[in-house]
Amino acid sequence: MAQDFTRAYAETRDASDSLAPYRGEFYLPQDGIYMDGNSLGLLSKRAERTLLESLSDWKELGIDGWMSGRHPWFNLSEQLAALNAPLVGARAEEVMVTGSTTVNLHQLVASFFKPEGKRTKILADTLTFPSDIYALKSQLELRGLDPSEHLVQVSSPDGRYLKEEDIIAAMTDEIALIVLPTVLYRSGQILDMARLAKAAHERDILIGFDACHSVGAIPHAFHDWGVDFAYWCNYKHLNGGPGSVGGLFVHERHFGTTPGLAGWFGSRKDKQFDMDHTMTPADDAGAFQIGTPHVLSLAPQLGALEMFNEVGMDAIREKSLALTTYMTALIDEVLAPYGFVIGSPRNETQRGAHLSLEHPEAARICKALKQHRVIPDFRAPNIIRLAPVALYNTFTDVYDVVMTLQTIMENKEYEAFENVREVVA
């Protein structure tokens, strides 16, 4: 076997990894390998610390924690927005940490979808995460529009990837709004957001992006690309914890847009407690908040985001690509004979931070991996998603996971399990 496919080679790569010290910041599974950071990032010691500090503020101060303590709650979302902004290539005032992914999508569509004349349709795609489609359909129905007619979904030619040419061709004069993923959740394909935003604006169409599978994994430049809006979760690559409060971006040219879903936390801060029944919205992305922030789901992000701002997205992306490129080479060398197919782009510029490994027995292979204390991610019908995370996974992790898969296939260990997904896949 070539030198590049030995465990010693992986250990050599780890020895020269400048991000290696950050691995010690996380609670790693004992005697196991975690490869599911694209679904839920691991807990870091810093996130634990800031959560416990906020709990102490509540314990010691009660209601005074809103304006006092280690992390006063009243401006906590704004504080986190400033930490998120460099990760998405935005100005701090264009970002807000609030709501959940789907709630934020509802807010943004309610605010920016303005059907008029011929322009009464929303453009999406057939590969996007189902929750986005549910939200878009309900927004159309709330306006008395039939989703079967007014939701246009660009199809994939192969079930893995989208062609940007097809998306642009679908930008007709009937489209009022476009909502697309930054990274496809199954294959990990990155869409060219700058190109798509430019094409949309040339046709007088607003465009927004679901950035759940890209924020914290790849660099962004939402402001410079001219993206109208975006939204994302903070529990995947950003390690904010299960149910962590989400994020949204609104380009500054849209400041002053009346929020489609109004709530008192969208008020200007100095006016919020006037208790006036006429709302004075914040004059930035803060206007798109709705209700009281979930403080204990915000607090871990304070610690988690420290590391991203220390390291920078360029360094994270560099290591992420090195890990997935190494994993690709190992899969080609070791696993191809067992019927595995890589369903992610091989072109690094088009690949996010996970690899999709396709196999007809994927569900039961995932169960066998868990028996070996390797935590993967399954997506129907036949995808094993593996996400080596730059801050806490190693080249040796990658090597060991691929070799574990070889053992499972060689010994047919997967045959002990049913080829059906668990309730939570």
Last residue of a domain, one of 310, 338, 365: 310
As to burial, measured by CB atoms within 10 angstroms (0-12 exposed, 13-18 middle, 19+ buried), residue 29 is exposed
121, 186, 236, 351: which one is catalytic? 236
Please say if 210 is a catalytic residue. yes
Local confidence band at 301 (pLDDT 50, 70, 90 cut-offs): very high
Per the annotation, does 404 bind a ligand? no
* pLDDT at residue 288 greater than cutoff 50: yes
Q: What is the pLDDT of residues 86-129, one digit of tens each?
A: 999 999 999 999 999 999 999 999 999 999 999 999 999 999 99
Last residue of a domain, one of 275, 310, 345: 310
Per the annotation, does 292 bind a ligand? yes
46, 319, 367, 385: which one is catalytic? 385
Please say if 45 is a catalytic residue. no
As given in the structure block, the two tokens for residue 347 are 């072109």
As given in the structure block, the two tokens for residue 249 are 């971006």
Per the annotation, does 101 bind a ligand? yes
Sheet holding 383-386, edge to edge: 341-342, 355-358, 383-386, 377-379
Q: How far apart are CA 228 and CA 207, in angstroms?
A: 6
User: Does residue 25 lie in a domain region?
Assistant: yes
Per the annotation, does 264 bind a ligand? yes
Last residue of a domain, one of 257, 287, 310: 310
Local confidence band at 3 (pLDDT 50, 70, 90 cut-offs): low
Local confidence band at 43 (pLDDT 50, 70, 90 cut-offs): very high
User: Does residue 262 lie in a domain region?
Assistant: yes
Q: Judge whether 345 and 189 are in contact, CB under 8 Å.
A: yes
As given in the structure block, the two tokens for residue 274 are 């006037």
Range of the domain at 164: 50-310
Q: What is the pLDDT of residues 353-387, one digit of tens each?
A: 999 999 999 999 999 999 999 999 999 999 999 99
Please say if 236 is a catalytic residue. yes
- Whether residue 285 sits in one domain with residue 212: yes
User: Residue 410 CB: number of other CB atoms within 10 A?
Assistant: 10
Local confidence band at 153 (pLDDT 50, 70, 90 cut-offs): very high
Q: How far apart are CA 341 and CA 406, in angstroms?
A: 14
User: Does residue 42 lie in a domain region?
Assistant: no
Please say if 364 is a catalytic residue. no
Query: What is the number of structural domains in the chain?
Result: 2
Per the annotation, does 131 bind a ligand? yes
Q: Judge whether 135 and 107 are in contact, CB under 8 Å.
A: no
As given in the structure block, the two tokens for residue 76 are 């906590």
- Whether residue 412 sits in one domain with residue 385: yes
User: Does residue 41 lie in a domain region?
Assistant: no
User: Does residue 36 lie in a domain region?
Assistant: no
- Whether residue 120 sits in one domain with residue 73: yes
The domain that holds 170 is classified in CATH as 3.40.640.10
Please state the separation of Cα 306 from the chain's center in Å.
Answer: 18
Q: What is the DSSP letter of 257?
A: P
235, 308, 399, 414: which one is catalytic? 235
- Whether residue 329 sits in one domain with residue 378: yes
Q: What is the pLDDT of residues 302-314, one digit of tens each?
A: 999 999 999 999 9
User: Does residue 223 lie in a domain region?
Assistant: yes
User: Does residue 220 lie in a domain region?
Assistant: yes
User: Residue 159 CB: number of other CB atoms within 10 A?
Assistant: 12
Calculate the CA dihedral of residues 297, 298, 304, 306 and round it to 10 degrees: -170
User: Does residue 391 lie in a domain region?
Assistant: yes
- Whether residue 88 sits in one domain with residue 75: yes
Per the annotation, does 128 bind a ligand? no
Taking alpha carbons only, the member of 319, 344, 377, 302 closest to residue 38 is 377
Tell me what the pLDDT averaged over the chain comes to.
97
Mean pLDDT of all residues in 154-164:
97
Taking alpha carbons only, the member of 327, 326, 319, 306 closest to residue 20 is 319
Q: How far apart are CA 348 and CA 208, in angstroms?
A: 24
- Sign of the four-CA dihedral 276, 277, 278, 282: positive
Per the annotation, does 381 bind a ligand? no
- Whether residue 192 sits in one domain with residue 298: yes
- Whether residue 260 sits in one domain with residue 357: no
- Whether residue 190 sits in one domain with residue 223: yes
Please say if 395 is a catalytic residue. no
Per the annotation, does 4 bind a ligand? no
Contacts of 256 (CB under 8 A, 6+ apart): 283
129, 255, 338, 417: which one is catalytic? 129
- Whether residue 378 sits in one domain with residue 271: no
Q: What is the pLDDT of residues 54-96, one digit of tens each?
A: 999 999 999 999 999 999 999 999 999 999 999 999 999 999 9
- Whether residue 363 sits in one domain with residue 302: no
- Whether residue 327 sits in one domain with residue 305: no
Query: What residue type is 52 in one-letter code?
Result: L
- Whether residue 335 sits in one domain with residue 262: no
Helix (H, G, I), strand (E, B), or coil: what is residue 157? coil
